[in-house]
Structure 1
Amino acid sequence: MSTIASGQGQPQGQPHSVTEAARQRKFGALYSRNVRSVVARGLMAAKSSTWLILVSGFFEPVLYLIAMGVGLGTIVGDVEGPGGQMISYAAYIAPALLAVSAMNGAVYDSTWNVFFKMNFAKLYQGMLYTSLGPLDVAMGETVLALLRGFLYATGFTAVMGVMGLLTTPSAVLMIPASLLIAFGFASLGMGITSFMKTFQQMDWINFFMLPMFLFSATFYPLSVYPESIQWLIQAMPLWHGVELLRQISVGVFSPATAIHIGYYLVMIVIGVTLTTGRLRALFLK
């Protein structure tokens, strides 16, 4: 027994522990190709949690659409949409609200949930004591956020269809585009949260999200702002999501469409890299 405990019974060159096995993988301790375990654990935990939070996230943009699109829309009338075509005000703001919903769902899942798991439940420490790597954890948490985003996007797109706001078959592409938006915010949000240590610091997330919601051409076009302010708004990630979904909703595409997609692809790469590096630095010292 002492021989086995000391590792002398192991064949030469074989790892003696889970940690050593992880370090001998192709990507070292970074990735074990086991994202599904993180996702499975998250889904099991979701079964025992309240569904009220999940449902409220779906109804919030729907209520905004009814109040602003239908209520205020009767006063505003038709507005100019992508490509110069005239569309109803409800059809104008609906894709923007879908982008906001994708952002909110992804951010709340990848910030407050992650903050609790990291600082109070100590969940990630336990995960990283196994063969899981930081990239497994980062991607697993992101996939969980995307699953919620998929439910929101599908449900809201269905509501748009019932209200007669979908005028082209290409509008169904808003669902995968919403997942792209959610992926960008979720990956970056988790990385930023890894720097947060107190609830007061977490309040800064809402401080930045509210201006993005109000000023990213959600309810009115970018042209209403002075040119100096337009450049600032165009740097905001939500503006790119709003414009992307708005173009898809009416089937009008331009070179700007590729720019919007590219913006989120870069955002995803930065977010995943940041999150993986932070988890590795925090828990695999």
Structure 2
Amino acid sequence: MTVLSAPHTAVHHGRLRGAGNMVARNLLIYRHTWYLLLAEVFEPVLYLLSIGVGIGQLVGRVPGLGDSPVAYSAFVAPALLATAAMNGAMNETTFNMFAKLRLNRTYESIRATPMTAQHIALGEALWAVLRGTLITTGFLVVVSVLGLAHSAGILLVLPGAALIGFAFASAGLVVVTYLRSWQDFQFIQLAMLPMFLFATTFYPLGVYPRWLQIVVECLPLYQSIELVRQPSLGQVGFQLLVPVVYLTVFGAVSLRWAMRRIDRALTR
């Protein structure tokens, strides 16, 4: 039994080692441009200050989780944390990876080494998770400074951000293999913007009719927001298993699909 499993173990370790090499490469590059991450922290901060705090002064309190109303800014902040994790990971595996894949032909030179398409896909996904988590950490500091962290459950934001980053990084890997030019990025925005607006980022789920609530609950960003909002508002329990399972399956299926697509793109 041990003899039969040894090749599989070697392959598994080989994938992780190759993925680690990709992460190390990106770290070496981004150490000179780390300040670019601040721009991605700045965007959700603007949303939080203008809508969460600004409009929140007019809105007052809104239904939170259960029957307890919460300040509008406290309701919006966790959603923007989840969105920051999503954008940080998705931008890496779409915008940045498109240039490497289609324009700079970066992966062609990498394939000249023992690195495989699976190493590249897994490594870029891991790097995107790290990038998204770093952006979320920066935004979490701002949220804490503004006094919007009202529960010790806010500490679960970071592992939640890593899972959100994994799900959307893997989805981004799939999407980037279908892009033909920079003009195709408008289709990404066509999908991402409505999801950002409707996935309870700024409004409670109860404002929608039931049929639309079902649609919203199927969105990956909604599940991401629930994963962050629930512990942020003090609700930590078995209900968190729903977004955890959803995002894990979504990410795993997307990563498997992406590995096949990237292998095909780099070998044709």
- Deviation of 1:84 after TM superposition, in Å, equals 2.2
Tell me, yes or no, if the aligned pair for 1:149 and 1:179 is still in contact at 8 Å.
yes
The CA deviation string for residues 35-60 of structure 1, in whole angstroms up to 9 with x for no partner, is 221112112222344x5532110011
Aligned residue identity for 1:54:
L
Aligned residue identity for 2:143:
M
For 2:164, the equivalent position in structure 1 comes to 181
For 2:31, the equivalent position in structure 1 comes to 47
Tell me, yes or no, if the aligned pair for 2:143 and 2:149 is still in contact at 8 Å.
yes
Aligned residue identity for 2:251:
I
CA distance in structure 2 between the aligned counterparts of 1:102 and 1:25, rounded to whole angstroms: 31
- Deviation of 1:255 after TM superposition, in Å, equals 4.1
Tell me, yes or no, if the aligned pair for 2:153 and 2:236 is still in contact at 8 Å.
no
Q: CA 1:128–1:245 in structure 2 vs 1: closer, same or farther (change >3 Å)? A: same
- Deviation of 1:25 after TM superposition, in Å, equals 9.8
CA distance in structure 2 between the aligned counterparts of 1:158 and 1:33, rounded to whole angstroms: 32
- Deviation of 1:31 after TM superposition, in Å, equals 3.5
Structure richer in helix, relative to its length:
2
1:1-285 matched pairs, under 5 angstroms: 27=11, 31=15, 33-49=17-33, 51=34, 53-284=36-267
Q: CA 1:284–1:33 in structure 2 vs 1: closer, same or farther (change >3 Å)? A: farther
- Deviation of 1:129 after TM superposition, in Å, equals 2.2
Give the CA RMSD over aligned residues.
Answer: 2.1
Deviates further, 116-125 or 195-204: 195-204
Tell me, yes or no, if the aligned pair for 1:128 and 1:284 is still in contact at 8 Å.
no
TM-score norm. by structure 2 comes to: 0.90
The CA deviation string for residues 11-67 of structure 1, in whole angstroms up to 9 with x for no partner, is xxxxxxxxxxxxx99549x94732221112112222344x55321100111111111
SS in structure 1 of the partner of residue 66 of structure 2? helix
The CA deviation string for residues 168-208 of structure 1, in whole angstroms up to 9 with x for no partner, is 21211111101111110001111221121112222211110
Q: CA 1:284–1:25 in structure 2 vs 1: closer, same or farther (change >3 Å)? A: farther
Structure 2 residues without counterparts, runs of 5 or longer: 1-7
The CA deviation string for residues 50-102 of structure 1, in whole angstroms up to 9 with x for no partner, is x5532110011111111112111111111221132221111000000111111
SS in structure 1 of the partner of residue 70 of structure 2? strand
TM-score norm. by structure 1 comes to: 0.85
Bigger radius of gyration, 1 or 2?
A: 1
Structure 1 residues without counterparts, runs of 5 or longer: 1-23
Shift >6 Å, 4+ stretches: none
CA distance in structure 1 between the aligned counterparts of 2:96 and 2:266, rounded to whole angstroms: 18
CA distance in structure 2 between the aligned counterparts of 1:131 and 1:245, rounded to whole angstroms: 39
Aligned residue identity for 2:145:
V
CA distance in structure 2 between the aligned counterparts of 1:113 and 1:282, rounded to whole angstroms: 16
Tell me, yes or no, if the aligned pair for 1:157 and 1:172 is still in contact at 8 Å.
no
